[in-house]
Amino acid sequence: MEVVLLGTTVVSLVVALVMSVAAWRLMRDEKRRSAARVAALSMAADAPEKPAARAPWGPAPLPLNPDPLPREVSHASGFLGAGAAPQQDGGGRQRSLAIAAAVLCVGLLGGLAWMMSGPRGTSAAAMGPNNPLELVSLRHERQNEKLAVSGLVRNPSSALPVERLSAVVFLFDRQGAFVTSARANVDFLKLGAGDESPFVVSLDAPATVTRYRVSFRTDDGVVPHIDRRGATPLAAEHEQPVSVTLK
């Protein structure tokens, strides 16, 4: 799912970049065309008009432009004013397009950053309080000062998938004081609904150790579980480590 979201975000960023480049090129071309149009109209306004030829016996024609100032003002302002309005309208549209592309690009970058910084795996809270894990079996083997705790954990059929699940073992002495702990991943990286996975945790256990507890965690915190080794659950639906006395 994360790969699909990442691919969609990358494609959207490319589209936003293409839109930005296209808007910039359109603005540049529009400015060039406007400049060329203004130059052409200015040249046409400044060009002198040729007097018409008359017959030697005809009356003298009236002056073509007795007052050059009004002609210059009215002619230039009329044509240039008409040509400036489309330029302003087109420039406004291009600027709006560029701003929209920039906003889209910033939004997509923010979404990508949020997606990449999100928590990994499935949190214990996402499973819900009514779907704890189930400890199906548990056993241990001690050799000298080494203790190996193994068992089988199950994800209920009504629960959400759990990823990167670990088993944690805590050791205690006769007085109940904490001695040490160890953590190891279960055999399967992902437990779907109804899946089971064995686990083994090995750690040093001095002779003073007489008891151990087992709990489960992910990268997001403790995952609640129920002891299903007997006919009746032995733990409530919250974090209750299983305590076992070494013999």
Domain coordinates in residue numbering, the chain:
2-116, 128-245
Residue 223 has pLDDT above 80, yes or no: yes
Confidence label for 84 from pLDDT (cuts 50, 70 and 90): very low
More confident site: 65 or 237:
65
Distance CA 121, CA 239 (A): 19
Q: How many CB atoms lie within 10 A of CB 195?
A: 16
Query: Nearest-CA neighbor of 197 among 210, 185, 187?
Result: 187
Class of domain 128-245: mainly beta
| Of 177, 137, 173, 181, nearest in space to 246 by CA | 173
**What is the model's pLDDT at position 13?**
76
Low-confidence winner among 44-48, 85-89, 112-116, 208-212 (lowest mean pLDDT): 85-89
Angstrom distance (rounded) from CA 45 to CA 37: 12
Res 196 pLDDT > 80: yes
- State the average pLDDT over residues 123-142: 73
Q: Do residues 19 and 104 make contact, with C-beta atoms less than 8 angstroms apart? A: yes
User: How sure is the predictor about 247, in pLDDT bands with cuts at 50, 70 and 90?
Assistant: low
Q: What is the pLDDT of residue 22?
A: 80
Q: What is the pLDDT of residues 133-146, one digit of tens each?
A: 999 999 999 988 89
Question: Which residue type occupies 156?
Answer: P
Task: Give the model's pLDDT for residue 52.
Answer: 53
- Tokens describing residue 44: 């046409």
Query: What pLDDT is recorded for position 243?
Result: 62
- Report yes or no: 135 and 227 within 8 Å, Cβ to Cβ: yes
- Mean pLDDT check: name the lowest of 22-26, 160-164, 181-185: 22-26
- Percent of all residues in the chain with a pLDDT value above 90, rounded to a whole number: 34
Q: Is 162 within 8 Å of 142 (Cβ atoms)?
A: no
Q: Are strands 133-143 and 146-154 parallel, antiparallel or unpaired?
A: antiparallel
Arithmetic mean of pLDDT, 129-135:
79
Label residue 85 by pLDDT band (50, 70, 90): very low
pLDDT for the residue 163:
92
- Hey, what are 102's tokens? 């920039």
* Maximum separation of any 2 CA atoms in the chain, in Å: 142
Highest mean pLDDT among 29-43, 81-95, 171-185: 171-185
Find residue 222's DSSP bridge partners: 217
pLDDT digits (tens, 9 = 90+) for 9-59: 777 777 777 777 787 788 888 888 888 877 777 777 666 655 555 555 555
The stretch 82-108 carries a mean pLDDT of 63
